[in-house]
Structure 1
Amino acid sequence: MIIATAPSTAVDTQDTKPILLDVTNTRLTVTSEQFDRLCLDNPNLRLELTPNRELIVMALTGGESGKKNARLSSRVVVWNDETDLGEVFDSSTGYDFTEFGGGKRSPDVSWIEKSRLEGQNIIGLIQILPDFAIELRSPTDNLSEVRAKMAEYQQLGVRLGLFINPQDRQVEIYRPRQEVEILEDPKSIDCNEVMPGLILSMSKIL
């Protein structure tokens, strides 16, 4: 695999052409600023940045995964509407974890407790850690990459992370400073420790 490193020289975004991205057979490392430019210049791509500055280009979600992710999001949204304890964010939402030693990520579903959002500017990438994050594995996802992403959430301090793996009918639960808990074909996940009253049904997900 070819490793390509983008130029580190600062550029004037007003006087340069857009950075167009072709990642065929290429591993690309970029700075945080270059990542932001790439996102602006390639709005149709789903991009993430790892802590070691490796650019991740994610395939579009297929219909089956999209349907399951919509169900997950709606179940969390319904709970949050009933409790009014925070805000729910979908898979298009970007987080900037670089100040904490992480990358720039987009969980499939995330939630932040209301008091932690006070005074925060969330027009751009969110610069605080979510309290809760879900990653739903799609058939195109690399298993080790998703687990690395979950481990990043755990290390940074996301209070509860769920890796839902329909292909193996498993759910992996990530909590700070704890061993990963693996559930085989669970019917539901109790999220009460972080989100009071939320029992997340796995019906039509696994």
Structure 2
Amino acid sequence: MILNNASMAAVVLHWPPSLHIADEQFFDLCQANKELRIERTALGDCEIMAPKGGGTGWRNLNLAVQLYNWAEQDGSGVAFNSATGFTLPNGAIRSPDVSWVKRTRLAVLTPEQKQRFLPLCPDFVIELRSPSDSIKTLQDKMQEYIENGASLAWLIDPESQRVFIQQANKAISILDKPKFLLANYLGFRLELQKIWEVGF
């Protein structure tokens, strides 16, 4: 299968029950196809995403840099980019655009576990909508993070300049054209002006 359209939506590959892929085999599949972003749903299907366009890539990097810089100063957790896979409690394997995990949770992992998909759900995730992404699909993914242990999930839509905020036991909050976002329980502030306006 060749995916060469940077703006195409994800391709879903359905696996019959007789071809169940173990976590180790799925990890090897992803390593053999590093040019693609591949996730596994809780039902075992593979979602294959082609590389994104320049605007989305630039925004993703900006998000990662802002979270990384804060995490390095704060010291209580570790920031990860979209190349990191997480095996959620429901069996899904996801790679959010940007995520953060408390150091205390990472400290109990073995060196071998740290070299593969991390066996936990991030505490905080950010997803950035690209032009080909469905808002509904991304909202469902954000809800999956919350149901699997994330405390906070932000979905950022540059096209409409809206942000969808999901937290455990709370209704979704929607912000229109905010200049910044504040994760109160973390103390992280995300500046959004550079996300709304691509810098090249």
Q: TM-score range by the shorter chain?
A: 0.7 to 0.9
Q: Post-superposition shift, 1:200?
A: 1.1
Q: Is the 8 A contact 2:35 2:51 kept in 1?
A: no
The correspondence for 2:13, drawn from 21, 28, 31, is 28
Q: Deviations over 1:124-169 (max 9, x none)?
A: 0000111100000111222222122111111112001000011111
1:205 match: secondary structure: helix
TM-score (structure 2 length as normaliser): 0.83
2:191 corresponds to 1:201: yes
Q: Is the 8 A contact 1:48 1:106 kept in 2?
A: yes
Runs of 4+ in 1 over 6 A off after TM superposition: none
SS at 2:105 equivalent: helix
Q: Distance in 2 between matches of 1:102 and 1:203?
A: 36
1:140 corresponding residue in structure 2: 132
In structure 2, distance between residues paired with 1:22 and 1:101: 29
| Higher RCO structure, 1 or 2 (CA under 8 Å, sep 6+) | 2
Range with bigger deviation, 32-41 or 116-125: 32-41
Task: Please state if 1:89 is matched with 2:74.
Answer: no
Q: Verify the 8 A CA contact 2:165 2:173 in the aligned structure 1.
A: yes
Return the structure number with greater helix share.
2
> Which amino acid counterpart does residue 55 of structure 1 have in structure 2?
C
Using structure 1 for the length normalisation, give the TM-score: 0.81
C-alpha displacement at 1:101, in angstroms?
1.4
Aligned match for 1:108, one of 97, 113, 117: 97
Within 2, Cα distance between the matches of 1:91 and 1:27? 19
Compared CA separation, residues 124 and 171, structure 1 to 2 (3 A): same
Unaligned 5+ runs, structure 2: 4-10
Question: 1:1-206 alignment to 2 at 5 Å?
Answer: 21=1, 27-30=12-15, 31-33=20-22, 35-97=26-88, 100-120=89-109, 121-193=113-185, 195=186, 197-206=187-196
Rg comparison, structure with higher value: 1
Q: Give me the whole-angstrom Cα distance separating, in 2, the residues matched to 1:36 and 1:200.
A: 32
Who is 2:7 aligned against? none
The structural deviation recorded for 1:40 is 3.3
- 2:115 maps to a residue whose letter is I
Q: CA RMSD in A?
A: 2.0
Measured in 2, the distance between the counterparts of 1:138 and 1:159 equals: 24
Question: 2-side partners of 1:188 and 1:203: how far apart?
Answer: 8
Q: Which runs of 5+ in 1 are unaligned?
A: 1-20
Give the paired residue count.
182
The one-letter code matched in structure 1 to 2:94 is R
